[in-house]
Every structure is written in structure tokens, then in C-alpha cells.
Amino acid sequence: MRAAVLTESHTFDVVDVPDPTPGDGELLLRVRACGICGTDLKSYTRFGAGSILGHEFCGEITAIGPHVDGRWHEGQLVAAMPLSSCGLCRWCLGGEPSHCERVDMFGLGGTPGAFAEYIRVSAVTSVPLEPSIGDLGALIEPLAVGLHTVMEGELRPGDRVLVIGGGNVGAAVTTWARRLGSAEVVVSDPSVSRRDGAGRFGATDVHDPADGPPPSGFDVVFECVGAPGMVQAAIDAVSARGRVVIAGVCVEPDRIIPITAVMKEVQLRFAVCYRPEEFRAAAVLVGSGEIDARAFVTRAVGLNGVNEAFERLLSSTVDRKIFVTPRA
Ligand SMILES: [Zn+2]
Ligand SMILES: [Zn+2]
């Protein structure tokens, strides 16, 4: 099969690699679409040559491995969690396979991801989709991230919410926060295009950091940027006893002034991935047609377009999600 494979010089070459075959309990998917994630952009230079990225995908089943239950059939469109885990430990049994000590994440430098024509997935983490969802099935993974982040905020109906960062994570968080009863969701982002687009995801107001810090007193603040200084900005904006949830992937040291959080008794939490039921809920949401899922996606490229797509996303905030469609 063809895949966009990372080179020594941190570019992607489209090359032929051996076709994967589904193992025990696995499905083989012909990748329909795979989103480029902010995590890919922040981490791809750290992955080894030969890596195949891509963890936000959907595809049609083309082969079924041994010991897979009978509800799957060839041609079925599915989204799958981009991981496999032991299935036996307290994390797996407790519905948090991303914390399994033996978790294997796909598309993050180890097991191949979905910037490729085919990918092997676990049947137990797969969710069947209506064929009409099409490429938008690749949004289920980032929407599951958004739902998990919001769940960690223990949102209550009527809560006032600030979302720092109006990129894809911020848009997913905004979508769920409104659906789960927030009265007010303010999105703070320096990018004009992101502020202009925030209303499509349910934002009730926007804030430009160039105008000074956002207003304070929010019940919950979601940090969806992942850059130094953002955690402090979140602490400053939250109310006494408020919750700050950090979903931003910051790979640099950061500093906070703890007294500012102590005096308000701020609850500081971190969020990563999702639980299987959150992944399934995201699939229901995308399938329901109740959100403007197209608003998350600004373009699609073939495997040959991965380099250019990375350049676009790294150099500007005009694009939202770019889909890699390997058969295009
Ligand atoms: Zn991601
Ligand atoms: Zn486990």
C-alpha cells in the first residue's frame, strides 16, 4: 500500500510499504479520511524516520481478523480509537484504556497511523457509522477529545465557560460545552479567523488577547492552546473554586504563580484522550447531523499533499482541520 512516511529531514515521502494484515480481534480498514492534529504538528519532528502518522480516521472494513464478533462486515464504515491496550488491567476494565500500562497509540511514532491506504485497528475500539457520515467520521476522534475535556470540567447547567484557544480542540470543547448546558462560552484567540468562526461551534462571545486579559469570574476555563503562560491565564480568569482543565499539549517548561490559584482554591486538572463511551458519544453526535460538522474541516489533500498541509497549518491559522484522503 502507499503511505506518507516520515523522512530523516522531517518531511513526508509517499512510498510503498507492506500491506497490513488484521491480527486476532482486528479489522483492516481502507482509510477514507484522516485529520491532521495539532499534536502531529507539535511532535512530528521528534518521531523517527519511517513513522506513519495519523490518529483521527475513519475507513471501510476490507478484511476481518480471527476472533472478531459477527457484527462487523466488509464495506462497513467505521471509526476506531487509535490505540490498542491489554484489556485486562484496572485501567482497561475501568474504561480508560489510554492509561493502560501496555497501551499502544497509533500514529504517534510507533504503530503506524492512517496517513496510509490501510490501517489495522482493534474491533473492540471500533464504532460502526452510517455510510452517509463519509469523511466526517474522521472528526469523531477530535470530538471525543473535546467531550472528555468538558467532562473533566464537571460542567453544570448555566456555567459560564472560557475556552482559551479557538483551534480544533477549542472548537470541539465549545461544541460540547454548549450542548451540555453552558449559558455562556467565550472563546479567546489572537487569530481573527478563529474568532470569526467561533460562533459556528456555539461560542456566545469572543475575546482578543491583544485587548488585554479576558474578563474573570468564569466557572470553568478550558486551556486548549498548549503554550507557556496559558495555564496562568486560565487561573487568572477562573472564579473562586472554579475548575481549570488543561487539554493543551505544551512541550516546554511553563511556570505559574501558585498563590494566585491557592487564594481562589482553583481546581486544576489535565485531560488527555477519552473513554470508549465518550468516543461512542462523539460518533452519535456526528451521525445526528445536529452540529455543523463541515465547519471543522477546511480542505482535503491526498497523501502527496501532506507536506504542503503541514506547512500551511504550521504557518497560519486560516485552516481548521485538513483531511488526508489517501485515495484522492
Ligand atoms: Zn489528535
Ligand atoms: Zn490495560
How much distance in Å is there from the Cα of 119 to the middle of ligand 1? Answer: 16
How far is 158 from 172, CA to CA, in rounded Å? 19
- What's the 73 CA to ligand 1 centre distance in angstroms? 27
DSSP secondary structure string for all residues of 84-144? E--SSSHHHHTT-GGG-TT-EEBTSSSB--SSBSEEEEEGGGEEE--GGGGGGGGGHHHHH
Smallest-distance ligand from the CA of 38 = 1
Q: Is residue 127 over pLDDT 90?
A: yes
Domain ranges of the chain: 2-128+292-324, 145-270
- Is pLDDT above 80 for 212? yes
pLDDT at 311: 97
Write down the architecture of domain 2-128+292-324 according to CATH: Alpha-Beta Complex (3.90)
Q: Please, are residues 41 and 60 in contact by the beta-carbon 8 Å criterion?
A: no
What pLDDT score does 328 carry?
Answer: 76
Q: Which ligand has the nearest atom to the CA of 247?
A: 1
The neighbour count for residue 40, using CB atoms within 10 Å, is 23
Point out the ligand nearest to the CA of residue 114.
1
pLDDT tens per residue across span 86-115? 999 999 999 999 999 999 999 999 999 999
Kindly give the distance from the C-alpha atom of residue 95 to the centroid of ligand 2, in angstroms, as a whole number: 10
Which residues, by Cβ under 5 Å, contact ligand 1, an ion? 37, 39
Q: Which ligand is nearest to the CA of 93?
A: 2
For residue 251, name the pLDDT band (cuts at 50, 70, 90). confident
Per cent of the chain over pLDDT 70 is 100
Task: Give the CATH number of domain 145-270.
Answer: 3.40.50.720
At 33, the pLDDT band (50, 70, 90 cuts) reads very high
The 3-state DSSP composition of the chain as helix, strand, coil percent (nearest 5) reads 35, 25, 40
